[in-house]
Amino acid sequence: MSVDRSEGGGRFPDGRPEAEQPAWRRDFPIDAAQDAYVARRDYAKFLVLTSFGFVVGQFGIAVAGLRRALGRTPAREIARVDDVPPGGAAIFHYPGPDDPCLLVRAEDGSFLAYGQKCTHLSCAVVPHVDRGRIGCPCHEGAFDLATGRPLAGPPRRPLPLVKLEVRGGAVYALGVEERTT
């Protein structure tokens, strides 16, 4: 097959001379090489725009982290000891009204508390005290009740741990510890 390179490396996409091109392409001729050059240049421009978007995201995370670090989480009473029997659980919100948490009382009477949002896709997790697990019904995720670490399913990060203190017949939340492992 002969290929016409006389017009700057192929004016038509298939490289054939103009006489061999279909009528519609002769009526609407496009300089294929120039088109390819402009397309690659614009692709580079689009990639740099994407790069700018990533930088905006990075600084957004950094600023959000700074705001969280400056915010305080004061100690607050979340339940009375008698309200949660051994093997039972209760829901409370800490530190803010949009932060649902799970207070669990183990069979030995000790208290544990975790954030209630699954670390996979933020579904509400459900305690199974008898099985020593906290389950996520959305994607069959499971966390260890004693540590909050993931045991099964898609979650990779442990549930946020709410630090507790029991004094004067009441349970107090002291702060939230987020963990990667």
Partner 1 sequence: MKRPFTREQKTTIVYGVLGPILVLVVMQLWLLTATMNAYLGGDRRVAWPAAFVSLACLLLNAGLLRYIYALESRS
Question: What does the binding site for partner 1 look like in residue numbers (CB under 8 A)?
Answer: 8-9, 33-34, 36-37, 40-41, 43-45, 47-48, 50-52, 54-55, 57-59, 61-62, 64-66, 68-69, 119, 157, 160, 177-181
Cβ-based nearer residue to partner 1, 10 or 153 = 10
Encode burial over 59-90: b for 16+ CB neighbours within 10 A, e otherwise.
Answer: eeeeeeeeeeeeeebeeeebbeeeebeeeebb
81 vs 144 by CB, closer to partner 1: 144
Sign, CA torsion 123/126/127/130: negative
Q: Checking DSSP bridges between strand 170-177 and strand 76-80, what pairing results, if any?
A: antiparallel
The separation between CA 45 and the C-alpha centre of its own chain, rounded to angstroms, equals 28
**Closest approach of Cβ 179 to partner 1, in Å?**
6
Distance CA(102)–CA(174), nearest Å, equals 14
From the CB of 146, what's the least distance to partner 1, in Å?
A: 19
Residue 84 vs 125, nearer CB to partner 1: 125
φ/ψ (deg, to 5) at 33: -65, -40
**Which residue's CB is nearer to partner 1, number 2 or number 180?**
180
| Least distance CB 129 / partner 1 (angstroms) | 26
Q: Give min distance, CB of 72 to partner 1, in A.
A: 15
Nearest approach, Cβ of residue 10 and partner 1 (Å): 10
Strand order across the beta sheet in which 170-177 lies: 76-80, 170-177, 161-167, 111-115, 100-105, 89-93
Judged by CB, which is closer to partner 1: 19, or 55?
55
